[in-house]
Structure 1
Amino acid sequence: MDFSFSEEQEHFRKMLKDFAKQELLPNYTKWDREGVTPKHLWKKLGELGVNGLRIPFDYGGSSADCVTTGIAAEEIGRGDFNLTYAVMLNALIGEIITNHGSEDQKREWLPMISSGEKIVGIAITEPSAGTDAGGIKTTAVHKENVYILNGEKSGISVATSGDAFIIFAKTNPDLGNRGISAFIVPANLPGVETRGYEDLGNIPISRGSIYLNDVEVSEENLIGLENNGFAQVMNGFDLSRLLIGLQCVGAATQSLDETIEHVKNRHSFGKPLAAYQGVSFPIVTHFAQLEMVKWQAYRGLWLRDQGLKHSKESALVKWLGPKYSQEAIHECLLLNGHYAYTKEMPLEQRLRDVIGLEIGDGTAQANQMVIAKDIIGKEFRSY
């Protein structure tokens, strides 16, 4: 067993760590306060090779392995939690188009995703279908050489800032999960409308709803085989859930580092706060929890790189990563005192941002169901 990163991966980590500290961290709260999606930074991440980590060289990407992609999620998460969507979202979409898209789709979309020229979202969730992704009601009716899409997608990241979306719709409602197809749908097509939310956190991600009203897309916009969309995306969630875990751990670890400096320098009753076990022990507890989640995430990414089963590991990381991270950030907020309750410090925003990923890409309960199915057996599942 080898738990070390390669020399190239260590160089990549250092480069991203410096970039996150110098260019992302100072402006992390700016985009939240202004309600802006910093598209120029998505392009900057494209220049650094971050957007196209899971996209082949031939289409402008980096052809990076999953472990390297995890390094990017962790380090960008330390600087700007929301910009890590450029890692996580693009890795998921990049894999879907690379593995299932046509040659024309790959040549048209993958270079623009890699460069950050285009931001592409993925639209599965609906008002009545979240964890039960197979319960979507959006339809795509095949008519001559086009598909006509109708429905509503909700809780979609980059809904109001995305240039296009991978829309999942039912092409054969009688087949259930096996009747779902995926389409690339440009945001400027007639009949596509979006509405943003006033969210607690993740403001720069411009989350919202997408409304599809008789939207016509060409047959060439179908990704892969008709009625095969569900299978295409579910495997991708095993990757995105691992990256989300590292994204959250990155934000929480940065919060711990800042708090450790604070408690070493802040004195109370003649001693540094760090001298009190009531201060140091909670920090140690959160550090230990984050370390365990982090290395389970990298193990899951390694398993994926080897082509080995990793759904259980992915679900575990997605369940505990956001949970332990928000608990750690909350503790850091308390240890920093009343100034941390203001918007002068980034802790309150990190707490708001991380809580959002206790929901997105599978709730704690949904991931526990995946684990139970694996370790107990399908015949004992309650769904």
Structure 2
Amino acid sequence: MTDHGPQPVERQLPTEEARDLIALVRELVQREIRPRAAEEEDAGHFPREVFRLLSRSGLLALPYAEEFGGGAQPYEVYLQVLEELAGARLTVGLGVSVHTLACHALAGYGTKEQQAEHLPAMLGGGLLGAYCLSEPSSGSDAASLRTRATRDGDTWILEGTKAWITHGGVADFYTVLARTGGEGAHGITAFLVPGDAPGLTAAAPERKMGMKGSPTAQLHFDGVRVPDARRIGDEGQGFAIALSALDSGRLGIAACAIGVAQAALDEALAFVEERRQFGRPLADFQGLRFLLADMATQIEAGRALYLAAARLRDQGLPFSKQAAMAKLFCTDAGMQVTTDAVQLMGGYGYTADFPAERYMREAKVLQIVEGTNQIQRMVVARHLAGPESR
């Protein structure tokens, strides 16, 4: 099975430390992830051992403070690490993005005591997290979620079902959004729930067209007791916390999409250089060269867009609009580039002997997760011509 993988991309890295970090990631990818990616994805194998290795290497904690075991890296650097990981295997790249998303609430809104107690293990202790917002009846309309947390003295009792949870059933902890008050966005609170909490069970993983190695499952909360000490932020603040996390998470999805697209382009380039038709390499045919040029341009534009949004975040400036733009553009580009790679390779691109068809199947989910691209268009439009714009 052929898998040429991404050729080294010239990275825009601000420090020598960041350049060393990317070199470490590329070495790890070539040694531990890429050689087994196709086989393990086909078998539906979840690479928990890889996530433990990433944790030991500090790669699950990159954008968080050193005080609690984080890497203190700017998002500009962290996202380029994600791109490298996703280009080798999306299950890993997206998994790191989801874990980072799951840590966001506690790192950004938890008390100092909560952070000191939980963050070191979450960031560097081999744990893996998941993020629980969506439900069977509330995907894009997240503010209508029904999972309820009822106070009982110093504990909360959680009842309900979460859906489409990446790492559902295998995570060590879950950041859970549940209703503690009335209807709408202002009645939602965030909780940090242990993965082995009594009453918490996972359904069988969903059967998906791609990312078969990454379990996606419903979670059932049947009288799950959570101490008030594990409530994150104020009561009713949960939806604001969720939106804050999603702005950053969307940049992670954008970087993953560009990683997959770059891998598809590199596979297509290698194919057209090797494959001959009518007595000459496919790379000599102008129609195919133009298609490759379009693919490369979309990748470069997407990379520039997500990095520009990341730099705004790193400077503490508003970046919600730019995050939505990056998620929208990069994931649409990822779908187009991977589709073009399959088309360019003809029948070979459609077979599982080459990774192009896997990249195409995987790219599709990135247009859906963490807010569909239709939702991203709504977000951007509100910033252009709604209350946010004024």
Which one is further off, 146-155 or 88-97? Answer: 88-97
Once the two structures are superposed, the pairs formed by residues 40-119 of structure 1 within 5 Å of their partners are 40-115=49-124, 117-119=126-128
Q: Does the 8 Å contact 2:13/2:19 carry over to 1?
A: no
Matching residue of 1:188: 196
Cα offset, 1:138, TM superposition: 0.7
Cα offset, 1:271, TM superposition: 1.2
Q: Does the 8 Å contact 2:44/2:214 carry over to 1?
A: no
Aligned mates of 1:351, 1:18 — CA distance in 2: 25
Cα offset, 1:116, TM superposition: 5.7
Q: Deviations over 1:116-141 (max 9, x none)?
A: 62111010001111111111011101
Matching residue of 2:219: 210
Please state if 1:170 is matched with 2:179: yes
What letter corresponds to residue 166 of structure 2 in structure 1?
Answer: S
Taking a change above 3 Å as real, the CA distance of residues 108 and 86 of structure 1, as seen in their structure-2 partners, is farther
What letter corresponds to residue 250 of structure 1 in structure 2?
Answer: G
Q: Deviations over 1:213-269 (max 9, x none)?
A: 111111111111111111112112111111111111011101111211211121110
Q: Does the 8 Å contact 2:86/2:94 carry over to 1?
A: no
Provide the TM-score with structure 1 as the length reference. 0.94
Matching residue of 2:233: 224
Once the two structures are superposed, the pairs formed by residues 1-383 of structure 1 within 5 Å of their partners are 5-115=14-124, 117-174=126-183, 176-195=184-203, 196-378=205-387
Cα offset, 1:90, TM superposition: 2.6
Q: Which of structure 1's runs of 4+ aligned residues deviate more than 4 A?
A: none
RMSD, aligned α-carbons: 1.8
Q: Does the 8 Å contact 2:56/2:126 carry over to 1?
A: no
Aligned mates of 1:265, 1:34 — CA distance in 2: 29
Q: Deviations over 1:147-202 (max 9, x none)?
A: 1111110011100211221110010024x211100111112222111111111112
SS at match of 2:150: strand
Aligned mates of 1:378, 1:161 — CA distance in 2: 41
Taking a change above 3 Å as real, the CA distance of residues 167 and 153 of structure 1, as seen in their structure-2 partners, is same
Q: Does the 8 Å contact 1:155/1:207 carry over to 2?
A: yes
SS at match of 2:213: helix
SS at match of 1:173: coil
Cα offset, 1:31, TM superposition: 2.4
Structure 2 residues not aligned, in runs of 5+: 1-11
Cα offset, 1:4, TM superposition: 5.6
